[in-house]
């Protein structure tokens, strides 16, 4: 048996390969940023060929850094930016257009036209109708790329989210699958029956022959072609990034909750083996399917999390680097009454306002650079808190603990503010790369690298804890100010 598991972490802003040992510790990591394309306001795209070449490059680099060969890798697990939509030619293997990224809002009007079907779609898929999900992105490609609809009808085109695309490329077109968790984010998948829904596909004019085969999250899908990594490696696990993080955080019991602070923020709660619909603006999704057992989750999505800090750095020029935001935020005692609602790509859960635009409120002559930076970090906290409160209402009780991960979770100011505003204990693991770790666990289970969930629980995972410290009156004042700012967009 090989000594390591390798994860492909195909994110929104970078492709990474991370190699883990049997204790769940990182042995090697390689990363490459990917280009973002914004052809029109509200549109976001990636080049699928860049996603593939960058992912392959970092995989080779990670093995080289660790001084190991392909024979030392027992299996590959894949985790990915979800909902991002790719359509490619079955024969040439070339995409018909750029990938439409999950953040893209170009199908807002189409979603409005689907409003009469919202109850049917929600009942079957667990989702609300929103440009966020893959279905309307796929329809847009078929409607707008010349010849695409005809080729799709003829069985010449294939659709997949990013993990499906990478598996197809890795196997040189031999395997066209998608895991249950990614399938459940397309708005085309019946989460109760675990199959593509014929009624929804017919409604959108999507030929079912172009869809990948839905498969469990932890099983051997195939092997990588030896030409790519110097030998064949089993591809044995896949999950959308947020479900992978839930698994990587060992949220194996119903009621366990985690939040990932990435480009966006994503709060998930394990709700067990029954798909329960939210009454408070959250969506229901497949968490994972392993060995015939399927686990579901409630999820709330914030579209602009760490991306707010990127905006301060890249567009506003207020930061030299993202980590600098913590130091500058601490230079002022508060935001001087300033609030940022970063609805740059609409508002996600629990509001679901795809047409919303970002605003800054409470500006006065005394508001300076550090106040703006602090307000931007606080906006992440407030958005997550909206989800925490919605999830508490669905659960029928206050939430006491929150496991966190993702790049921005390394910001101590942000984590303490989250504990204060949400009145929860915030637990940050030793390894915040829990998305990649979850994919590794899923792949490792499939090949016997780890025996079962109990074996995974024994892996490394010490954490730091942030406890609420803020006075209740101050907390309520902050939340009131945020609510008033959001109300300006949601009236």
pLDDT, tens digit, 9 for 90 and up, residues 154-206? 999 999 999 999 999 999 999 999 999 999 999 999 999 999 999 999 999 99
Pairwise CA distance, residues 59 & 145, whole Å: 32
250-429+461-491 under CATH 2.40.160.20, yes or no? no
Within the chain, which residue ranges are assigned CATH 3.30.420.40? Answer: 4-241, 250-429+461-491
Superfamily holding 4-241: ATPase, nucleotide binding domain (3.30.420.40)
Q: What pLDDT, on the 0 to 100 scale, is given for residue 288?
A: 96
Pairwise CA distance, residues 374 & 393, whole Å: 29
Exposed e or buried b for every residue in 343-373, given b needs 16+ CB within 10 A? bbbbbbbbbbebebebebbbeeeebeebbbb
- At residue 347, φ and ψ (nearest 5 deg) are -105, 130
Of residues 192, 190, 209, the one with CA closest to residue 200: 190
Instruction: Report H helices in 126-215.
Output: 134-144, 148-153, 162-170, 180-183, 198-204
In this structure, is the dihedral angle defined by the CA atoms of residues 190, 196, 199 and 202, taken in order, positive or negative? Answer: positive
Q: What pLDDT, on the 0 to 100 scale, is given for residue 457?
A: 80
* Positions in the chain whose pLDDT score sits under 50: none
Could you tell me the pTM of the whole model?
A: 0.87
């Amino acid at each position: 048996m090989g000594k390591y598991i390798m994860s492909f972490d195909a994110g929104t802003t970078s492709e990474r390969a991370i190699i883990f040992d049997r204790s769940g510790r990182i042995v090697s990591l390689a990363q490459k940023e990917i280009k973002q394309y914004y052809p029109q306001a509200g549109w976001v795209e990636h080049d699928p060929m860049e996603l593939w070449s960058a992912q392959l490059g970092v995989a080779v680099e990670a093995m080289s850094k660790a001084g190991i060969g392909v024979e030392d890798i027992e299996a590959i697990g894949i985790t990915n930016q979800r909902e991002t939509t790719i359509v490619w030619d079955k024969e040439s293997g070339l995409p018909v257009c750029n990938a439409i990224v999950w953040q893209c809002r170009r199908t807002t009007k189409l979603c409005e036209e689907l409003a009469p079907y919202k109850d049917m779609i929600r009942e079957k898929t667990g989702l609300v109708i929103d440009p966020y999900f893959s279905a309307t992105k796929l329809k847009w490609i078929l409607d707008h790329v010349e010849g695409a609809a005809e080729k799709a009808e003829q069985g010449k085109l294939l659709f997949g989210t990013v993990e499906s695309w990478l598996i197809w490329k890795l196997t040189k077109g031999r395997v066209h699958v998608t895991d249950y968790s990614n399938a459940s984010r397309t708005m085309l998948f019946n989460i109760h029956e675990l199959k593509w829904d014929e009624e929804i596909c017919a409604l959108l004019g999507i030929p079912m022959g172009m869809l990948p085969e839905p498969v469990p999250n932890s099983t051997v899908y195939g092997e990588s072609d030896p030409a790519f990594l110097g030998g064949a490696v089993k591809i044995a696990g896949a999950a959308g990034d947020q479900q992978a993080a839930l698994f990587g955080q060992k949220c194996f019991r119903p009621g366990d909750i985690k939040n990932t602070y990435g480009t966006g923020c994503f709060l998930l709660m394990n709700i067990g083996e029954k798909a329960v619909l939210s009454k408070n603006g959250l969506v229901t999704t497949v968490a994972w399917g392993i060995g015939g057992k399927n686990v579901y989750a409630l999820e709330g999505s914030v579209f602009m999390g760490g991306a707010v800090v990127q905006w301060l750095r890249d567009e506003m020029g207020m930061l030299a680097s993202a980590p600098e935001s913590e130091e500058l935020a601490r230079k002022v005692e508060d935001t001087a009454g300033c609030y940022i609602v970063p609805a740059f790509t609409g508002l996600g859960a629990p509001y679901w306002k795809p047409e919303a635009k970002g605003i800054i409120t409470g500006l006065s002559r005394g508001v300076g650079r550090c106040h703006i930076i602090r307000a931007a970090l606080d906006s992440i906290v407030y958005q997550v808190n909206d989800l925490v409160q919605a999830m508490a209402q669905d659960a029928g009780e206050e939430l006491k603990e929150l496991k966190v991960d993702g790049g921005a979770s390394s910001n101590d100011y942000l984590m303490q503010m989250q504990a204060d505003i949400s009145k929860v204990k915030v637990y940050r693991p030793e390894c915040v790369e829990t998305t990649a770790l979850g994919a590794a666990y899923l792949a490792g289970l499939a090949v016997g690298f780890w025996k079962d969930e109990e074996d995974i629980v024994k892996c490394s995972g010490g954490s730091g804890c942030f406890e609420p410290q803020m006075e209740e009156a101050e907390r309520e004042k902050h939340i009131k100010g945020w609510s008033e700012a959001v109300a300006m967009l949601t009236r």
